[in-house]
Structure 1
Amino acid sequence: MQLFRPGANTIALLIMAAIGAAPVLAVGVSYGVMRSPYITDQNITRNQPVPFSHEHHVSGLGLDCRYCHTSVEKARFAGIPPTETCMTCHSQIWTNAEMLAPVRESLANDKPISWQRVHRLPAYVYFDHSVHVAKGVGCTTCHGDVGQMRLMRQAAPLTMQWCLDCHRAPEPYLRPHEAVFDPKWQPPPNQAEIGPKLAASYHINTGHLTDCTVCHR
C-alpha cells in the first residue's frame, strides 16, 4: 500500500530547503531594513518652524558655515545660531515676511526657535566636530552639498559602517585647511597623491581610529 504520492519527496525537499533558507532570508531582510532610510533617516527632510534654505544663504549669499555654526572649530557641537544672528540681517531686509514671523517672535519673547534636529546620532556615539575640522574633513563630506539644499536633509546614512569606512581610509576625503569650509570643494585629480600627505601632516593614525573607545566612551 502506497502511503505517499510520487511527488511527496520533491515537496519534502522543498520544505527542508525553505526551512534552511528562512533564517538567511530573515537576516538579509533585517540587514536591508537597518540600512534603509526608514531607519537611517537618510535624505528625509523635516518640518521646521522656519523654512531655512541653505541653498539661498550658502550658494546665493555666500555665507560661511562658521557665520551660523560658530562653535564648529572649537567644540563637539557645531552650534545652532541664536535668533540674534538671524536678525542681524532680517532686522533690515524681509522685515515683514510672513515666513519669518517665528524669528521675530523668538526675538521679541526671548525664546529660542525650536528647530528639529536633522543629523541625529545615538546617545552612545561620541562625535566631535572640532576634531574632524582640524584634521581636514570638510563640512560637505558628511553633510552633503548643502549649497543645493532648499531644506536641510541628512545626505549620508551615518551608520557605523559608513563612519568606519572613513576611519580606515580617510585619505580620499581630506582637504587642506583653507578648503574645509568651501561648499564647492571637489577632490582634485591627484587626490590619491595628496591625501596621504595631508594625513601625515595632520598626524592621523588610522591604526587607532577603529578602536571602540574612539566613538564609544
Structure 2
Amino acid sequence: MANFFPRWTNWVPLKLVVCAIVIACGLSGATWYYATPRYTKIGYRPIQPVPFPHDIHVTQLGMDCRYCHSFVDVAAHSNVPNTQTCMNCHTQVAKDNPKLEPVRESWKTGKPIEWVWIHRTVDYVFYNHAAHVNRGISCFSCHGSVNHMPVVYMAKPHSMGWCLECHRHPENFLRPEDQVFNLDWKPEDVQPAEFVAKYGQPHDARDDFSKKKKLTQTEIGETLKERWNINPPTNCQGCHR
C-alpha cells in the first residue's frame, strides 16, 4: 500500500504530546507563582529594626493613623514616621526600654531608622493615597486590621485583579469619610436617619433609607458613590501612566 504521508509525520503525535505537557506545566507554574501568596506576598512579615506594635498604639492608646503617617490624606505617597515623631512620646514614655535603643541612637546621630517596607507599590503603578482616603476608602481595605496587629504583615494581595475589583465595584468598599481611619467600622454602625440627612440616598432607591433599622454596605456604598460622583478608571491609563 502506498504511503500517503511523509515519514516526518510519524513524529507529530509525540510532538503534540510534548507541547501539551510543556503548555500544561507552564500554565501550572504561572498559576502557582502569580496567583498564590508566594507572588502576592500575603502573610509577608519582615523583621523590623524596632518592634512597633500597632495594636498597642492604635487600639489601646487610641492613636490616629495620621499621627505617624501624616502625608496619607494630603499626598500621593504615604510616609513612614521619622525619628522625631517617635521621640515626641518616647522622650517621656518607655524612654529606657532597650527595644527602643535604635530609636534613641537615630535621635543622637541623625541617621534614619532603616524600616523594612511591606506595602510597596511597584514602580510601573501609580497609586494616590490621598485620592482614595478622601473619598471613603479606608486603610482597612488595603492593609487589613492593622490596629489589631502586634506585627504588621501583608494582609491583602495588591494585585491588579484585586485593585480592579474595587474600581469596578467601589460601592462594596466605600464608607463615610469620618470613618476612613476607624479600622473597626462596620456598616451596622451607621444610623440610617443621620446618614440620609447628610448624604441623601440613590435617586433610584425604592425604599426610604432613613426609615430602615440598618443599612447594608451596598446601600451605603451606592449612596456615597452617587453623592461623590465616584467613577474609578478601569483602563490601563488609570494606573499605568
Q: Give TM-score scaled by structure 2 length.
A: 0.79
What amino acid sits opposite 2:28 in the alignment?
G
How far 1:196 moved relative to its partner?
Answer: 0.8
What amino acid sits opposite 2:230 in the alignment?
I
What amino acid sits opposite 2:167 in the alignment?
H
Match of 1:216 in 2: 240
Match of 2:62 in 1: 62
Match of 1:94 in 2: 94
Q: Distance in 2 between matches of 1:19 and 1:214?
A: 37
Question: Is the Cα–Cα contact under 8 Å of residues 139 and 180 in structure 1 kept in the other structure?
Answer: yes
Q: Give TM-score scaled by structure 1 length.
A: 0.88
How far 1:25 moved relative to its partner?
Answer: 4.1
Residue by residue over 1:30-58, the C-alpha shift from the partner in whole angstroms, topping out at 9 and shown as x without a partner, is 12211222222111101111011111111
Count of paired positions: 204
Q: Distance in 2 between matches of 1:183 and 1:190?
A: 17
Alignment of 1:44-55 (within 5 A): 44-55=44-55
Q: Distance in 1 between matches of 2:150 and 2:223?
A: 36
Question: Is the Cα–Cα contact under 8 Å of residues 187 and 220 in structure 2 kept in the other structure?
Answer: no
What amino acid sits opposite 1:39 in the alignment?
Y
Match of 1:161 in 2: 161
Alignment of 1:147-186 (within 5 A): 147-186=147-186
Q: Which runs of 5+ in 1 are unaligned?
A: 1-12
Which range is displaced more, 137-146 or 37-46?
A: 37-46
Match of 1:202 in 2: 228
- Identity fraction in percent: 41
RMSD over aligned Cα, in angstroms?
A: 1.9
Q: Distance in 2 between matches of 1:116 and 1:131?
A: 25
Match of 1:32 in 2: 32
What amino acid sits opposite 1:196 in the alignment?
E
Q: Distance in 1 between matches of 2:20 and 2:41?
A: 33
More relative contact order in 1 or in 2 (CA 8 Å, sep 6+)?
Answer: 1
How far 1:110 moved relative to its partner?
Answer: 1.2
Q: Which runs of 5+ in 2 are unaligned?
A: 1-12, 189-214
